[in-house]
C-alpha cells in the first residue's frame, strides 16, 4: 500500500490525488505546453492488407481528428492552422507536434525523418508526440527518435488497448500483448524517449475484475505515462454494426459506473505513471452509444477528483511493488 508523502502532497509532488499530466508538464517546462494535432496521411498494417483489412473494430479516426487537420496541407501549414485554432481557447507559447491519426511510424525511414523534421522546423514546436502501434516500430525508427531526443522532447504513444490476447483477437487488433511488452521494453532502452500506453475499458468479453487486474499488469512495464479510455461506439466502424444489431453485446459504462471504476483502477496503478487521460471524448455526432450529456474533459476530471476526495483515496493507494 502506498501512503501519502504528507497530508497535502503525494509522491508526485503536488496535492492533486493523481499524477496529473498538466501538473507534470507545468513543473517540467514552467509554462503551458499544448499539443497541436497533425495528419500526415498515414494508414496502418491492419487496414492496407499487410496483416488485415478494415482496421480494429472500434476504430474511426474521424472521431477525434480536429477540423484543422488536413493531410492535403503541409505539416508546417497544419501547425500554423492548429496554433491559430488552439490560441482561441488556450494560452500557450510553445507546442508539441502530435502525430495522432493512425500509425505514425508506419512508413519508410526517409519519409518519417522528413515529416518529423518538418514539424520540428517550426519555431513554436518544442518536440514530437507520435501515436503508433507496437508492431510498427523497428531499430531504425528507434535510432531516429533517439537522435531527435538529443535536442527535442520526444514522446511515443503505443496502443496496447488490452492486456488479454483473447480480447485483442476478437477486436481484430492484429498483434498480441507480448508484442506490446517487447516493443515498450525495447523503446525503454533508448535515451530520452518518453513512453505512453493506451488502454480501452469496456471491450466485449472483459469483466470488471479483468479490467482492474490490468493495472497490476501494466504497472510492471517501463512506462512514463498512460492514457485511459472508456469504450465508445463510433460511427462507421465494425462495432457500430454490431451495436445496431445487438446492443447487449456491449457493456457501455454510464458516467456513474465509470467514475467509480476509474478511481478503483487509479488506486491500483503505479504512482510513478503520469496520467495523461482518464476518459474518451469524441464529438457526439460521431458516437452512437451512450453519451454523457454535454460534459467535457474538465467536467469529468472535476467529478473524479471530487469523488476521490470523498473516498479519501489516491493513485497507487493499493499499488503493490
The pLDDT tens digits for 184-218 are 999 999 999 999 999 999 999 999 999 999 999 99
Alpha helices by DSSP H, listed for the chain, are 21-29, 75-87, 109-120, 139-148, 165-170, 177-188, 208-218, 238-245, 255-268, 297-310
Output the pLDDT for position 7.
45
Output the pLDDT for position 121.
97
Q: Give residues with Cβ within 8 angstroms of 23, minimum separation 6.
A: 12, 14, 16
2: pLDDT strictly greater than 60:
no
Output the pLDDT for position 268.
98
Contact 284, 291 (CB under 8 A): yes
Q: Give residues with Cβ within 8 angstroms of 13, minimum separation 6.
A: 27
pTM of the model: 0.94
Please, which pLDDT band fits residue 306 given cuts at 50, 70 and 90? very high
- DSSP bridge partners of 195: 156
Output the pLDDT for position 89.
81
Tell the residue number behind the cell numbers 454523457, with chain if given: 292
Q: Give residues with Cβ within 8 angstroms of 92, minimum separation 6.
A: 31, 32, 33, 34, 86
Q: How far apart are the first and last CA of the chain?
A: 9
Can you name the CATH fold of 21-310? TIM Barrel (3.20.20)
Give the mean pLDDT of 15-19: 96
Output the pLDDT for position 281.
81
- Tens-place pLDDT, residues 43-82: 999 888 899 888 899 988 765 677 778 888 999 999 999 9
**CB neighbour burial string for 19-48, b if at least 16 within 10 angstroms, e if fewer:** bbbebbbeeeeeeebbbbbbbbebebbbbe
158: pLDDT strictly greater than 80:
yes
Query: How many CB atoms are located within 10 Å of the residue 105 CB?
Result: 25
Ranges 4-13, 59-68, 229-238, most confident: 229-238
Tell me how long the chain is: 321
Distance CA 120, CA 148 (A): 9
Distance CA 94, CA 10 (A): 28
Report the SS3 class of residue 271.
coil
Closest C-alpha among 306, 254, 274, 92 to residue 197: 274
Please, which pLDDT band fits residue 1 given cuts at 50, 70 and 90? low
Alpha helices by DSSP H, listed for 135-207, are 139-148, 165-170, 177-188
Contact 58, 200 (CB under 8 A): yes
Indicate the average pLDDT of the chain: 92
Contact 290, 254 (CB under 8 A): yes
Contact 39, 308 (CB under 8 A): no
Output the pLDDT for position 8.
58
The values of phi and psi at residue 200, to 5°, are -115, 130
Closest C-alpha among 197, 241, 228, 180 to residue 57: 241
Amino acid at each position: 500500500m502506498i501512503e501519502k508523502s504528507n497530508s497535502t502532497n503525494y509522491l508526485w509532488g503536488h496535492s492533486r490525488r493523481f499524477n496529473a499530466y498538466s501538473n507534470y508538464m507545468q513543473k517540467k517546462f514552467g509554462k503551458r505546453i499544448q499539443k497541436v494535432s497533425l495528419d500526415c496521411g498515414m494508414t496502418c498494417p491492419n487496414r492496407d492488407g499487410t496483416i488485415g483489412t478494415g482496421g480494429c473494430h472500434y476504430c474511426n479516426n474521424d472521431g477525434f481528428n480536429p477540423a484543422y487537420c488536413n493531410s492535403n496541407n503541409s505539416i508546417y501549414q497544419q501547425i500554423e492552422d492548429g496554433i491559430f485554432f488552439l490560441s482561441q481557447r488556450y494560452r500557450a507559447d510553445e507546442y508539441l507536434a502530435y502525430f495522432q491519426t493512425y500509425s505514425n511510424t508506419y512508413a519508410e525511414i526517409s519519409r518519417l525523418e522528413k515529416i518529423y523534421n518538418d514539424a520540428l522546423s517550426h519555431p513554436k514546436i518544442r518536440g514530437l508526440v507520435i501515436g503508433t502501434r507496437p508492431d510498427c516500430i523497428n531499430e531504425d525508427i528507434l535510432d531516429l527518435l533517439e537522435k531527435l531526443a538529443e535536442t527535442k522532447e520526444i514522446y511515443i504513444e503505443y496502443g496496447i488497448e488490452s492486456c488479454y490476447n483473447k480480447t485483442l483477437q476478437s477486436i481484430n487488433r492484429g498483434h498480441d500483448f507480448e508484442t506490446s511488452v517487447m516493443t515498450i521494453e525495447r523503446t525503454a532502452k533508448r535515451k530520452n524517449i518518453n513512453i505512453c500506453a493506451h488502454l480501452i475499458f469496456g471491450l466485449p468479453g472483459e469483466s470488471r475484475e479483468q479490467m482492474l487486474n490490468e493495472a497490476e499488469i501494466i504497472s510492471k512495464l517501463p512506462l512514463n505515462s498512460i492514457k485511459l479510455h472508456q469504450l465508445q461506439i463510433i460511427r462507421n466502424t465494425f462495432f457500430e454494426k454490431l451495436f445496431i444489431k445487438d446492443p447487449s453485446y456491449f457493456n457501455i459504462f454510464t458516467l456513474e459506473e465509470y467514475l467509480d471504476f476509474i478511481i478503483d483502477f487509479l488506486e491500483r496503478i503505479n504512482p510513478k505513471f503520469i496520467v495523461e487521460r482518464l476518459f474518451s471524448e469524441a464529438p457526439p455526432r460521431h458516437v452512437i452509444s451512450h453519451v454523457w450529456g454535454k460534459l467535457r474533459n474538465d467536467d469529468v476530471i472535476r467529478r473524479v477528483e471530487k469523488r476521490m476526495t470523498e473516498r479519501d483515496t489516491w493513485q497507487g493507494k493499493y499499488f503493490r511493488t
